[in-house]
Structure 1
Amino acid sequence: MTTRPPFEFVVDRAHAHAVNEVVADTRRLRVIAFVVTVVLGLGTAWLIWLNHPYSFLLAVAFALGTVTALFVALWSPHRARIEKLYAEGELVPAIVSDRNPRGALLLALVNVAKSGAAPRYALITRTVRSLPGHRSWPGEQIPSVTVRADRAPLSVGGLRQTVGAMPIAWGTRDPDVLTRAREAIPEAEWKLLADNRSLAEKVRTADFGRLLLDPHQLPEEMRG
């Protein structure tokens, strides 16, 4: 896998808000953050009302928690703005590795190196409930983009802690866009995923939910 320019397409916002599970996860996070904000805010007020020296110390801690939860509630919609996620994500291959009661298990190939560092490739998985525009049987090719959850400047071993995969199909109904995305990914990457489809369960239970690949075992086309 080599670095590719962002995959450009017009995001169908109505479609994305209906089916994109990253958007749904963000909505749930925002609701939880607002609930925590209210609970901690009421707790802060109650501790101040007690007018006890120890309660003021606890009130400070509760107040900090309230501010943090409110920040998450207000910031999360901007962080997960769907056009921003698709524009910033790197186009990557993913395939359906298996079906389970929760949906389809995707196996994706991603670069987990920090920006500017030498590439390090890994297999990751994601369970998805729906794949509009695709068949959900094993081996189906699902062009996706990376979603990087960690923004910290440092991480273990110079590698990103969390990298997810978000299907292009969650952002558009246009089959021509899906075809164009699929064709933009080299055949060597699709073949690598197909050859390693049996590793999906091992990847799902691995540390950080990823399985690092030995650079020396990558196809020649992907060592550049």
Structure 2
Amino acid sequence: MRRFEFVVDREHAHAVNETFTGLRRLRLVALLAAGLAIAATVALVWSGQAWGFLLAVVCVLIAGIALWVALWTPHRSSIEKLYHDGVLVPAVVSDAEPGAIVLLALVDIAEPAAPERSWALITRKVRTLPGHAPRRGEQVPAVAVRTDRAPRQVGERWQLVTAMPIAWGTRDDTVIERAREAINEVEWRLLAQNLALAARVKRTATKRLLLDPQQLPADLGKAGAG
């Protein structure tokens, strides 16, 4: 597992890190849903109707799930934890337009205990990319962030994973360059050769395209991205 340690600039990350912003929004939605479910439960019980008690049970379950999400999200959304736990992966700009930049990343989506590696191309659309030029082919070191929490993964693979740029955690260009150099050139070259596949990846429901192991470079397994 290739990790990349650096001091996270929390002020910068809070301002630009879209992964963190999304998780924070999830927590607010969960809290709102829990509040509404609790209010509905009180109203249904107060009605005194038999059917109201049945619906109240459902609302209690909804409130419980929503509160669990709200309590889980702060732990999950720790910026330092996201970067510390994430595997360092290569990403490149595949498309840039006003207000949106599309990243194409190479990620091993196999679980650590899986007997074989499973390489895939994933895409992510972002609004800002500080520290990088928004040009096609720009190398963007990132970490792979798992966004699904299923207890068991189908086929020993992550079901949902996204790329979070190192540049969202620091304003220091030397840190970004150090991360870029820590990624094997084999991986950067493979991404550059497959830029044309970005449009195909974006059309998939999971924004992910598995690569044929037979067509991968022989020394990819030595790159240390798994």
TM-score strictly above 0.5: yes
The residue aligned with 1:7 is 4
Secondary structure at the counterpart of residue 139 of structure 1 = coil
Instruction: Please identify, of 99-108 and 57-66, the stretch whose mean Cα deviation from structure 2 is larger.
Output: 99-108
How far apart are the structure 1 equivalents of 2:150 and 2:40? 30
The residue aligned with 2:84 is 87
Q: Is the 8 A contact 1:134 1:140 kept in 2?
A: yes
Aligned-pair identity (%)? 55
**Which consecutive residues of structure 2, in runs of 5 or more, have no partner in the other structure?**
none
Post-superposition offset of 1:101: 4.8
How far apart are the structure 1 equivalents of 2:8 and 2:200? 33
Give yes or no for the alignment of 1:141 onto 2:132.
no
Secondary structure at the counterpart of residue 206 of structure 2 = helix
Give yes or no for the alignment of 1:76 onto 2:80.
no
Q: Is the 8 A contact 1:110 1:121 kept in 2?
A: yes
The residue aligned with 1:57 is 54
- Divergent runs of 4+, >4 A: none
Report how many residues are paired.
221
Deviations 1:116-161 (A, max 9, x none): 1121000000001011111111110000001001232322222110
Post-superposition offset of 1:216: 1.1
Q: 1:49 to 1:101 in 2, by over 3 A?
A: farther
How far apart are the structure 2 equivalents of 1:80 and 1:185? 25
Please show how residues 153-168 of structure 1 align to structure 2 within 5 Å: 153-168=151-166
Q: 1:207 to 1:157 in 2, by over 3 A?
A: farther
Equivalent of residue 122 in structure 1, options 114, 120, 123 = 120
**Which consecutive residues of structure 1, in runs of 5 or more, have no partner in the other structure?**
none
**RMSD over aligned Cα, in angstroms?**
1.2
Q: 1:205 to 1:102 in 2, by over 3 A?
A: farther
The residue aligned with 1:103 is 100
Q: Is the 8 A contact 2:44 2:56 kept in 1?
A: yes
